[in-house]
Amino acid sequence: MDESAEKGFEEEIIGKNELRDKTNGIIYGGGYLLGVVALDNLLMSKDRFEIKYFFVSGRRIKSLAFLPGDSFPSLSDICPSAKLYEREIADMFGIMPLNHPDLKPLMLFPENWDAAVHPLRKDYGGVKCIGPDFKRYGEYKYKKVYGDGIFEVPVGPIHAGIIESGHFRFSLRGEPILQLEIRHFWKHRGVEKLCEGKSLSEALKIVSRISGDNSVNITLAYLTAAERILGINVPQKVKHIRVIFAELERLWNNVRDIGFIFMDIGFNLWAQNLFVVLEDILRMNKSVTSHRYMFDIFRIGGISDTAYIDGAKAGDIAGLLEKVKDELKKAEKIVLNSPSVTDRIELAGKINKKTAQELSLCGVCARASGLKRDTRIEIPYLLYGENIKIEPAAFEEGDVFARTRMRIKDAFESIKIITSLCRSLPGLLPEAETAADKEAADAASNTIAAGIFRAGGREAIGNAETSRGNAFFYISTDGEGKIYRLKYIDPSFRNWPAIQYGILGDIIADFPLVNKSMNLSYAGNDL
């Protein structure tokens, strides 16, 4: 196996002055930014800091790596999606992006944290740096709109309903929104630092709790990376079952999100109909995997015992999906045919294709704005690209209507995939073999884990398509196989800034609708 297949990406080492030129080249060639990862090599006896820019270019992942010293050139003018990553690096490592237009602290709020604290540096002790006196270090400065009759509406961090915490600040004149500033990271839990020093299987429990409603797909992205590092090839039937769970999770997410859209336009009857379907799926999840949100159903190289699917379980799943399909068909009919619904969702929260391109959006948001981005097609994993062919689909309009239709389409696609996999599953599963297979896989992964790590460690990336878009993991391990650096990039991290553009000119009453149509995660974003 060549180096790039082993790690999942091709790396080019460049000087930090070449970064802008090289990035321009990739972007003009049709590539887009997937993520930025910074590393502190203090314990690896190399040059201290290292930054890697990951791009999707063609059907491959290309990385530009360089040594920044204590600063590096900002890409925010040629590649606006780099803006947040650069702020994150300034916070977490104290490496400064030069000429950055808006270098406010991102995760470490100036009210709570000393500006000299950089938690992801290896010499940061991990001590809770705030004393009992809760010293106030500074003040966060919101962007301000000046002029006659301008007023601000602050919302959050605690919202009216049962949702996560985040702050939105609208500036308005009359009804139309002139500016929205999103301030997130209230729920910053320090997941990345927490995973450091743990073994790949210990971190699994934390990883599956990064964002509860995308647990399965995020875990799959992690497992792709971890299994690359360990050199494990998962057996065909494990892939089979993993795809069933991945699609099941995408399905219930989409059902819920379509329900939320109905809820926010005041069409409670259909919202509740879909919530009944949602509850049915969750209960089935519980009976199949013994967990409603399918936490902890995977282990490295396999599936945990409680979640193994046999022929009977596969039949249950396929049976319920018939009912789900019926309900979704009714919902689709309403979305497409009732003027009272389309009036409300057409043109609301319009994100132009150019904006989507510049912000490197992913998932439903990208596909509803005319970009055919789907990890399952672009960077195939598991059975995708082999047994399962997904037609690239996109809507051009970029509004709530397009996103709703995209979600319905996705849901039907998931149902199709699960049903066909459930049908072919019994043939793949001679049940007597299961236990012996598992032992063999366990033994193999143990020997591999014991012998494989050469001094200096290994690195790999993993991708998966969640219901929100691409989930990206970068993992590097030290010589003992413990995690040296783990970086997770949630699809929501990429997509949140898009709302700030999509909402402009709309009214505040449209905001919940736009927000729910994208349904981004706060927990995954804040980490």
Contact by Cβ (8 Å): 169, 511? no
Span near another protein by CB under 8 A; candidates 106-114, 418-426, 428-436, 467-475? 106-114
- Helices 433-451 and 215-230: crossing angle in degrees, nearest 10, is 60
282 binds another protein (CB under 8 A): yes
Helix (H) or strand (E) holding 475, with range, is strand 470-477
338 binds another protein (CB under 8 A): yes
Nearest 5°: phi and psi at 233?
-100, 120
Burial class (CB in 10 A: 0-12, 13-18, 19+), 220: buried
522 binds another protein (CB under 8 A): yes
Contact by Cβ (8 Å): 285, 309? no
Residue of 25, 30, 58, 126 that binds another protein (CB under 8 A): 126
325 binds another protein (CB under 8 A): no
Residue of 98, 115, 153, 158 that binds another protein (CB under 8 A): 158
The residue (of 76 and 214) whose beta carbon lies closer to another protein is: 214
463 forms bridges with which residues in the sheet? 472
Three state DSSP letters for 58-86: CCEEEEEEECCCCEEECCCCCCCCHHHHH
The residue (of 197 and 380) whose beta carbon lies closer to another protein is: 197
Q: Name the minimum Å distance from CB 5 to another protein.
A: 32
Span near another protein by CB under 8 A; candidates 31-39, 331-339, 482-490, 506-514? 331-339
Helices (H), 290-399: 311-337, 339-345, 353-358, 363-368, 375-378
164 binds another protein (CB under 8 A): yes
> Euclidean distance between the first and final Cα of the chain, in Å?
34
**CA-closest candidate to residue 90, choices 78, 76, 246, 77:** 76
Q: Name the minimum Å distance from CB 194 to another protein.
A: 5
Q: Name the minimum Å distance from CB 88 to another protein.
A: 14
The residue (of 19 and 203) whose beta carbon lies closer to another protein is: 203
The tokens describing 292, both together, are 């409603």
509 binds another protein (CB under 8 A): no
Residue of 56, 204, 210, 230 that binds another protein (CB under 8 A): 210
Span near another protein by CB under 8 A; candidates 21-29, 212-220, 303-311, 467-475? 212-220
Q: Name the minimum Å distance from CB 154 to another protein.
A: 12
Contact by Cβ (8 Å): 526, 189? yes
269 binds another protein (CB under 8 A): yes
Q: Which residues, 129 to 148, sit near another protein by CB under 8 A?
A: 129-130
- Please report the sign of the dihedral spanned by the C-alpha atoms of residue 436, residue 442, residue 447, residue 453: positive
Residue of 213, 227, 249, 399 that binds another protein (CB under 8 A): 213
Nearest 5°: phi and psi at 272?
-65, -35
Q: Name the minimum Å distance from CB 374 to another protein.
A: 23
The residue (of 128 and 141) whose beta carbon lies closer to another protein is: 128
Nearest 5°: phi and psi at 337?
-110, -15
Q: Name the minimum Å distance from CB 205 to another protein.
A: 6
124 binds another protein (CB under 8 A): yes
Q: How many CB atoms lie within 10 A of CB 134?
A: 8
The residue (of 136 and 454) whose beta carbon lies closer to another protein is: 136
194 binds another protein (CB under 8 A): yes
Q: Round to whole Å and give the CA distance between 465 and 487.
A: 17
438 binds another protein (CB under 8 A): no
Q: How many CB atoms lie within 10 A of CB 291?
A: 17
Q: Which residues, 293 to 322, sit near another protein by CB under 8 A?
A: 293, 295
Question: How many H helices and E strands in the chain?
Answer: 18, 14
In our burial notation (b when 16+ CB lie closer than 10 A, e otherwise), range 233-261 reads ebbebbbbbbbbbbbbbbbbbbbbbbbbb
Q: How many CB atoms lie within 10 A of CB 151?
A: 10
Q: Is 358 helix (H, G, I), strand (E, B) or coil?
A: helix
Q: Name the minimum Å distance from CB 113 to another protein.
A: 8
Q: Name the minimum Å distance from CB 290 to another protein.
A: 12
193 binds another protein (CB under 8 A): yes
The residue (of 54 and 270) whose beta carbon lies closer to another protein is: 270
Residue of 161, 391, 454, 455 that binds another protein (CB under 8 A): 161
Q: Is 33 helix (H, G, I), strand (E, B) or coil?
A: strand
The residue (of 165 and 434) whose beta carbon lies closer to another protein is: 165
The DSSP annotation for 299-323 comes to ETTEE-GGG---HHHHHHHHHHHHH
Residue of 58, 154, 176, 212 that binds another protein (CB under 8 A): 212
157 binds another protein (CB under 8 A): yes
Q: Which residues, 172 to 191, sit near another protein by CB under 8 A?
A: 185-191
**Looking only at Cα atoms, what is the longest distance across the chain?**
76
The residue (of 1 and 162) whose beta carbon lies closer to another protein is: 162
Phi-psi region of 134 (alpha: psi -120 to 50; beta: other; left: phi over 0): left
Question: Interface with another protein by CB under 8 A: which residues?
Answer: 109, 111-113, 119, 124, 126-130, 157-158, 160-165, 185-191, 193-194, 205-206, 209-213, 215, 269, 272-273, 275-276, 278-279, 282, 286, 292-293, 295, 330, 334, 337-338, 521-523, 526
